[in-house]
Structure 1
Amino acid sequence: MASDPRYRASVRIDLDLVCAHPDDLLTGIDGSSRMSASTMDAEDALLSLLDVAVSPGADHLVRIESASTAVVDSEWEGTSGGVPAGSSDTARVARAGARLAGIDWALNELFGGATGDATASELRQRTIIKGLVWNASVMVVDCLFDDVLHLADASGDHSAWRDTHVISQLPPQYATHYDRGFAQKFLAATIEVTSRLSASPVYPPTVAHELALKLVLDEAERNADRLSGDLPEGWREHLDTVLFQDLDVDSLFAEQDAASKRDAAAATPPLDFASWFIPYAHAPAPAPYASDDLKEPAGR
């Protein structure tokens, strides 16, 4: 005898909630949950208060087999823009990510499409990745300002680059060029490449811009390792694939001899230090301060 037909559906429910202060959320949870409040943040407390259920009297018609909840985005009103102390590190990162719309296109393939078809968990992961990139952009630029001051104070000290925050992460075989003048130009390139991340998709126009973007993504990846939330596997590799035309700049970090440096200068586009601020052919013009006109634009 044939069984009764059944209808199965996956339902997405979006809720906009107005919540109390994090401290109030933590004191509002039940006694058993409060036992672990020392390790619980405000978002955990919020999710513990939510439940999905069918209407009373309809349980014989519909049975919920599984349900999951995740905070997609959050915004605190009545503050100066910061996130209250009761919030998790992940919430702080996600709050920053809400301001970075310029790489949404780059994340669509990673998450299988635009945000309209994403699950709550995927929306949250997307926002966290954007927050990691945003925070890394701010940190790298801020540290570069310190690097410029340090190199200015250590004029004539050819080893001063070793004590910098960001410049010391660049290929060491070119360290003899890392003085204040270079740091200022690299700072300009970094500001430009990070500003384009928050605006429209544009490939980095020079080797220096590519190096700056690489250092920003390196910082974002390091910060991701400190978060408790899971991110999709290969998210960094995916961003490398879509934000760069190629990854030739990685070869600059390999140990080079005189022959390999000549090869770098003869490459297309050239990767020798003299070409770092020369714009690629067909690339948008970089900021004047971060552009050299000593040679013709490099082909790419």
Structure 2
Amino acid sequence: MTGEENYVEHALRVGEELTGLSLEQLGLEPQLEDLAENRRNRLEADDLEWAGSITPERRDRSLFQAKLLAGALWEASAVLIDQLFEDLNGLRNLERVDRQDIANTFVLSGLPPRHADKYDVRFARQFLVIAADMTGALARRWTRPSCVAQELALRCLLDQVEVIQDLYSLDLAEDWRSRLEQHMLEDTDSEMLYQNAMDGFEDDIELNMQLGLAPMKIQDWFEPFTDASVPPYVR
């Protein structure tokens, strides 16, 4: 048995711990008989036709891929927190943090590079706490990110899933990332922080109001969205 096969078995096993997302959110394409009667009764004609077109083979493959994705997410969440501790330990030994220091980190290097010199020890501690809060929701009930920093932490988590997928040649659905982003994010506005063409948009109050953006200056990243809350440590 190859290492990839061993890891698949492991991922399928640990994926059972991830109960914060449903198998459908993870990519299961259910047949009509998989659905509760009250749910079938609420389906529109197009949805009924689509569900009726799902073959047993397609359903079983999507179930396997959904369970495998659950395991990859579970593993990635543990790796993410471990690596943030490593990043934090590395920063503690520095008198001053510069962009090259951040480029050499595991997780912080995946944050918007324009603010890299601001990712100091205090920031790393806050980001670790907000990331841990996010990963806990994978075992509870998933709720959308509570602040910009948590949206960025989710991006880092999905990046780690990609690393695991490539490392172990996991047979995940082609659209797994876009599917998760659809279910796990309120929107993808924070992606603008990575776009060179949008450099400085955080300071354009009029533009932010027109686009309906949450405040995205780095000092606002840990501020909770409306009707959301964040751990006391990050405030």
User: Partner residue of 2:232?
Assistant: 288
Of 146, 166, 181 in structure 2, the residue corresponding to residue 205 of structure 1 is 146
Q: Could you give the per-residue CA deviations for residues 66-98 of structure 1, whole angstroms, max 9, x where no partner exists? A: xxxxxxxxxxxxxxxxxxx89622112212211
Of 104, 119, 126 in structure 1, the residue corresponding to residue 22 of structure 2 is 104
The list of structure 1 runs, each at least 4 consecutive aligned residues, that deviate by more than 4 angstroms after superposition, is: 256-259
Distance 1:100 1:152 in 2: 33
- Structure with max Cα Rg: 1
User: TM-score under structure 2 normalisation?
Assistant: 0.79
Structure 1 residue identity aligned to 2:157: V
User: Partner residue of 2:78?
Assistant: 138
Distance 1:218 1:86 in 2: 19
Quick one: structure 1 residues 239 and 116, their matched pair in 2 at CA, closer, same or farther if it must change by over 3 Å?
farther
Q: CA deviation at 1:230?
A: 2.6
User: Partner residue of 2:61?
Assistant: 121
Q: Could you give the per-residue CA deviations for residues 146-199 of structure 1, whole angstroms, max 9, x where no partner exists? A: 111111111224242222111111111011211000000000000000001211
Q: CA deviation at 1:233?
A: 2.3
Distance 1:274 1:186 in 2: 12
Of 187, 193, 214 in structure 1, the residue corresponding to residue 128 of structure 2 is 187
Structure 2 residue identity aligned to 1:121: R
Question: Which structure exhibits the higher relative contact order, with contacts defined as CA atoms closer than 8 Å and separated by 6 or more residues?
Answer: 2
Q: How many residues are paired up?
A: 207
Structure 1 residue identity aligned to 2:144: Y
User: Partner residue of 2:90?
Assistant: 150
User: Partner residue of 2:52?
Assistant: none
Q: Could you give the per-residue CA deviations for residues 20-76 of structure 1, whole angstroms, max 9, x where no partner exists? A: xxxxxxxxxxxxxxxxxxxx45xxxxxxxxxxxxxxxxxxxxxxxxxxxxxxxxxxx
The SS at the match of 2:17 is coil
Structure 2 unaligned blocks of 5 or more: 35-55
Quick one: structure 1 residues 286 and 207, their matched pair in 2 at CA, closer, same or farther if it must change by over 3 Å?
same
Q: CA RMSD in A?
A: 2.6
Q: CA deviation at 1:272?
A: 1.3
User: TM-score under structure 1 normalisation?
Assistant: 0.63
Task: Give yes or no for the alignment of 1:251 onto 2:192.
Answer: yes
